């Protein structure tokens, strides 16, 4: 099948492109390269374009006879989304409407959609299942939830089929070392701690040490990006095999605290560095851990890089060999 991958030059998208290149699908990446990197796209054809350019998008879908879409392209910084909601509604929701309309007009029936654990907000129960109440506490999560709801309406009214994947904390890098995480600005814990180990930063700050957790720091469910990528391939296959529209959580089911991440980085890298304890970051729930039982059962998903050490080893392998990212 000919698959359009929006945001395929980004962190998660590029890992999916690499995994998808091991199947017999044809890959067409559509990315404006604002955050993505040309060098991250190791397979398929890269078309530099914006999702708000409906004419170009439509042209690409026709020219390459696109039959399915994996939609990654989005803005994803929580803090920025609170300061500039207009940007998020325009780029996330507005562009999703454009894309869905192009799909509808061209008879493209299948989409795998990148969503997020941020749709749950502060969950009342751990682990989080797909039935947990959605109640996003930030604009970013809200834009993803709005799109999820749109997808349900497009299915009901037009028969388009979607698999929505709600990611927990994507991390790690392809074990081959060819691609990895390269955000600017970087805000995620694991790359920031690794930058500190590399000496690119003076210290790492722990945002809050008084949470009701085993060591007082926040607990998150870190999921290896190659395992995430694998789930996308399975989701696409499920759609092609006639699956109904579905929503799945993607996480390890295992939580690690901020201190445990920092200690593991010290162990894996063999380097010591300065750690500060600072104030809580507004909006951080104490614990976010997924149940991914549904994805395992229905998609047959089997994560390979479950433990934190493997995640950090692959991320370290990427960062130490590419300290300036894709350049």
According to CB under 6 A, which residues from 177 to 206 bind ligand UDP? 187-189, 192, 204-206
Select 32 or 116, whichever has its Cβ closest to ligand UDP. 116
Which strand ranges, in their side-by-side order, compose the sheet holding 45-48? 45-48, 26-31, 2-6, 68-71, 110-116, 161-167, 246-250
Q: What is the DSSP letter of 133?
A: P
Would you count residue 284 as binding ligand UDP (CB under 6 A)?
Answer: yes
Would you count residue 53 as binding ligand UDP (CB under 6 A)?
Answer: no
Comparing every residue's Cβ against ligand UDP, the nearest one is 218
Q: What angle do CA 43, 50, 104 make, to 5 degrees?
A: 90
According to CB under 6 A, which residues from 221 to 280 bind ligand UDP? 258
According to CB under 6 A, which residues from 74 to 133 bind ligand UDP? none
Residue 85 CB neighbour total at 10 angstroms: 15
How far lies 259's CA from each of 61, 170, 217, in Å? 46, 18, 7
CB of 204 to ligand UDP, least distance (A): 6
Alpha-helix residue ranges (DSSP H) falling in the chain: 11-20, 54-63, 78-83, 85-88, 95-105, 139-158, 189-198, 225-240, 258-269, 293-294, 308-321
Among 15, 25, 161, 220, binds ligand UDP (CB under 6 A): 220
- In this structure, are residues 256 and 308 in contact, taking their beta carbons and an 8 Å threshold? yes
Phi (first) and psi of residue 26, to 5 degrees? -95, 135
CB of 188 to ligand UDP, least distance (A): 4
Would you count residue 176 as binding ligand UDP (CB under 6 A)?
Answer: no
Beta bridge mates, 116? 167
Among 64, 89, 195, 207, binds ligand UDP (CB under 6 A): 207
**Catalytic pick among 140, 167, 211, 248:** 140
CB of 294 to ligand UDP, least distance (A): 21
Among 281, 297, 300, 304, binds ligand UDP (CB under 6 A): 281
Largest CA distance in the chain: 57
**Is residue 140 flagged as an active site residue?**
yes
Residues involved in catalysis: 140
List residues near ligand UDP by CB under 6 A: 169, 187-189, 192, 204-207, 218, 220, 258, 281, 284
């Amino acid at each position: 099948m000919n698959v359009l991958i929006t945001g395929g030059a980004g962190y998660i998208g590029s890992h999916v492109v690499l995994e998808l290149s091991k199947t017999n699908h044809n890959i067409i990446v559509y990315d404006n390269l604002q955050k993505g990197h040309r060098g991250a796209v190791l397979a398929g054809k890269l078309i530099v374009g914006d999702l708000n350019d409906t004419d170009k998008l439509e042209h690409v879908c026709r020219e390459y006879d696109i039959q399915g879409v994996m939609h990654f392209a989005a803005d994803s910084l929580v803090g920025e989304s609170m300061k500039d909601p207009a940007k998020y509604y325009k780029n996330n929701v507005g562009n999703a409407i454009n894309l869905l309309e192009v799909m509808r007009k061209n008879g493209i029936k299948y989409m795998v959609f990148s969503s997020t654990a941020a749709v749950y907000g502060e969950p009342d129960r751990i682990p989080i299942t797909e039935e947990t109440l959605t109640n996003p506490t930030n604009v970013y999560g809200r834009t993803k939830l709005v799109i999820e709801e749109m997808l349900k309406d497009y299915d009901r009214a037009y028969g388009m089929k979607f698999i929505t994947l709600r990611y927990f904390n994507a991390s790690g890098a392809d074990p081959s070392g060819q691609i990895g995480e390269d955000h600017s600005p970087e805000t995620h814990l694991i790359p920031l701690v690794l930058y500190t180990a590399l000496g690119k930063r003076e210290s790492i700050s722990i945002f809050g040490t008084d949470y009701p957790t085993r060591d007082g720091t926040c607990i998150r469910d870190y999921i290896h990006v190659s395992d995430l990528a694998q789930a996308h391939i399975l989701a696409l296959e499920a759609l092609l095999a006639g699956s109904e529209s579905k929503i799945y959580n993607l996480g390890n089911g295992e939580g690690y605290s901020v201190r445990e991440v920092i200690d593991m980085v010290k162990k894996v890298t063999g380097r010591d560095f300065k750690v500060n304890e600072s104030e809580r970051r507004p909006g951080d729930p104490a614990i976010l851990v997924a149940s991914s039982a549904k994805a395992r059962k229905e998609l047959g998903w089997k994560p390979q890089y479950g433990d934190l050490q493997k995640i950090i080893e692959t991320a370290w392998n990427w960062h130490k060999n590419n300290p300036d990212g894709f350049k």
